Amino acid sequence: MPLLTTKIPTRPPIRLLLLSAARPLSSTPAPAGGASSDAQAQKLERIADELLSLTKAERDDYSILFRLKLGLNQWIPAGGVLAPGAVGGPVAEATKPAEEKEKTAFDIKLEKFDAASKIKVIKEVRTFTDLGLKEAKELVEKTPVVLKKGVTKEEAEAISAKLKEVGATVVLE
C-alpha cells in the first residue's frame, strides 16, 4: 500500500497567513516570491506593531474608525454599543425619544377649588368615581390629588370641563 505524502510548504505558516491577509481582493494571484511579498510582510508587521503600541482608548477609537471605513457601522459589534454615526438598527429605534408618541392616557389631577364650591366639587367627583360621600370628601380635602388615572383624552376633557364649571382647578397629566 503506497504511503500518502503531503507537500510541506517551505514558508512558515504564520508567514503564509500574513501574506494571504495582505493579498488584495482582486482575482490576480499574489506573486510567488521575491521582494514584493517580503515588503508586504514587513508592512503588515509594522502595522501590527503600531496597533499593539496603542492604548486601550486609542484601540477602541481605531476599531470604530476601521468599522466605519469598511461600512460595517450598521451592525452592532460584540460589545453591544453602536459606532458613532451609525444609523438604523434595533438600538437606534429603541433610543428614539418618547415625545414623538401622542399621549393617549391621562391622569386627572385636582389642584385646588373654591371653598364655597366644596360640596359641588365633592358631588361632581362622586359622579365619575365609585366613591361614597365620605371617601369623596376625604379625597377632595387632600388637594392636590389625582382623582382618576389612565382615562382617554375625550373623557378627561369632559370631566375637567365639569369640574371647572363647579369652581375647581384641574390639570391633565
Residue 128, pLDDT score: 86
* Per-residue pLDDT band at 46 (split at 50, 70, 90): very high
* Per-residue pLDDT band at 143 (split at 50, 70, 90): confident
Least confident of 4-18, 25-39, 67-81, 131-145: 4-18
Q: Is the residue at 167 inside a domain?
A: yes
Region 118-145 average pLDDT: 89
More reliable by pLDDT, 103 or 46: 46
Residue 63, pLDDT score: 85
* Count of structural domains, the chain: 2
Residue 26, pLDDT score: 46
Region 103-129 average pLDDT: 88
- With b meaning 16 or more CB within 10 Å and e meaning fewer, what string describes 123-160? ebbbebeebeeeebbebbeebeeebbeebeeeebeebb
Task: Judge if 81 and 40 occupy the same domain.
Answer: yes
Task: Judge if 116 and 82 occupy the same domain.
Answer: no
Residue 27, pLDDT score: 45
Domain hosting residue 49, numbered range: 34-94
Q: Is the residue at 9 inside a domain?
A: no
- With b meaning 16 or more CB within 10 Å and e meaning fewer, what string describes 17-36? ebbeebeeeeeeeeeeeeee
Region 151-171 average pLDDT: 89
Of 94, 121, 138, at which residue does a domain stop?
A: 94
| Full-model pTM | 0.42
Task: Judge if 51 and 76 occupy the same domain.
Answer: yes
Q: Residue 126's domain is classified under what CATH number?
A: 3.30.1390.10
- 161, 124 in Cβ contact below 8 A? no
